[in-house]
Amino acid sequence: MIHARNFSRMKDLVTIEAVSDADSLRAKQAADELGAKSCYDSYETAIRESGADAVIIATPTKYHCDIAVMAAKNGMHIFCEKPMAMTTSECEKMIAAAQRSRVILQVGFMRRFCEDFVRAKEIVDAGGIGQVVMIKSLTRGPSTPQEWMYDIQKSNGPLAEVNSHDIDTLRWFSGSEAESVYASGGNYRCIGAKEKYPDFYDTVLLNIRMKNGVIGCIEGAQGVGYGYDARLEILGTEGMIRVGELRKNSVAVYTATEGKKEEIAESWRNVFERAYLEEDKAFLTCVAHGSEPEPGGIDGMQAVAIVKAGNRSLSTGEVIRMEEEQHAGGKAFWA
């Protein structure tokens, strides 16, 4: 609905033709709010009958590939939320389908459109902190996962659901691809899920060595409770850049009884509200001009490859070399 509401405000550029949701009541409610011409409880029917030029995919990850491939075959441009798909093979199918039909395929890494992240990237590219040596990125979410997310086979776990953005950020700022990964984690807060989903982890630390020598450290956590926390630190040979903070705003209150008190960001919806709008505008620009989207399918697929390698490291306790992961079935493109 974040994307849908953004597009509904761009009436001079786009119209919302239809809404599809497996829950027909939710589909109807959304269509009424957005002023959509029709609503469906089947994405297949929506793709065949809506007459839309583009589709926004915001379903659970395991459905992304089928929807995107069908949309491409029907000549629809595709905006797909992260994670792009469950496997790199699915990502390849999506990319190939989009290329055959000559449609746009953009992946929802909205941090690339956040003003602060963009400014930090400009400084890095201009040599403002010298050569990048180390990148640390973290995302911690306040809420516990929905039950389907506990099943690693359906969600790929927090590395996918939470840390896909951090993985893309690491690739973006380092300008390189992963060489090897090592992950450790555990389930510390979602105790009720342990018996049915013993492989689930709500906290994870992922160490990555990039091919150009940059060292990366990614941290993820779900159910932290205290607020939404997304931060980035880039260490160079001549300086350091820090992006993001836990505070909702710059207001801090000091009292004799409570000491220092600050407002904390409650949700990613608040922190990246503007970034979502900018990435939606960028998608429309690509569709209108036939330009290559960034981030695109390759970016989405490389993030999935790292997620799969991280999950493999978690299960084996070993350092995973990305070439080995490719031979184990990852089948990713390597730049």
Name the nearest CA neighbour of 216 among 229, 235, 242, 203: 235
pLDDT of the residue at 324? 73
In a domain, 203, yes or no: yes
Name the nearest CA neighbour of 131 among 174, 179, 177: 174
Exposed e or buried b per residue across 194-206, where buried means at least 16 C-beta atoms within 10 angstroms of its C-beta: eeebeebbbbbbb
Number of folded domains that form the chain: 1
Residue 335 has pLDDT above 90, yes or no: no
In a domain, 272, yes or no: no
In a domain, 256, yes or no: yes
pTM over 0.85: yes
Residue 319's pLDDT band (cuts 50, 70, 90):
very high
pLDDT of the residue at 257? 75
Q: What is the mean pLDDT of residues 268-278?
A: 83
Residue 277 has pLDDT above 70, yes or no: yes
Residue 334's pLDDT band (cuts 50, 70, 90):
very low
In a domain, 167, yes or no: yes
In a domain, 7, yes or no: no
pLDDT of the residue at 269? 64
In a domain, 161, yes or no: yes
Residue 170 has pLDDT above 90, yes or no: yes
| Cα separation, 274 vs 281, whole angstroms | 11
| pLDDT tens figures, 223-255 | 999 888 999 999 999 999 999 877 665 545 565
Residue 333's pLDDT band (cuts 50, 70, 90):
very low
Q: Report H helices in 136-260.
A: 147-150, 152-155, 158-161, 164-174
6 versus 325: the higher-pLDDT residue is: 6
**Which secondary structure element, helix H or strand E, spans residue 251, and what is its range?**
strand 247-255
| pLDDT tens figures, 25-54 | 999 999 999 999 999 999 999 999 999 999
Domain containing 227: what range? Answer: 111-267
- Helix 115-125 to helix 164-174 angle, to the nearest 10 degrees? 30
Task: Provide, rounded to the nearest whole percent, the portion of the chain with pLDDT above 90.
Answer: 84
In a domain, 251, yes or no: yes
pLDDT of the residue at 245? 79
pLDDT of the residue at 140? 94
pLDDT of the residue at 113? 97
Q: How many helices (H) and strands (E) does the chain have?
A: 14, 14
In a domain, 153, yes or no: yes
The CATH number for 198's domain is 3.30.360.10
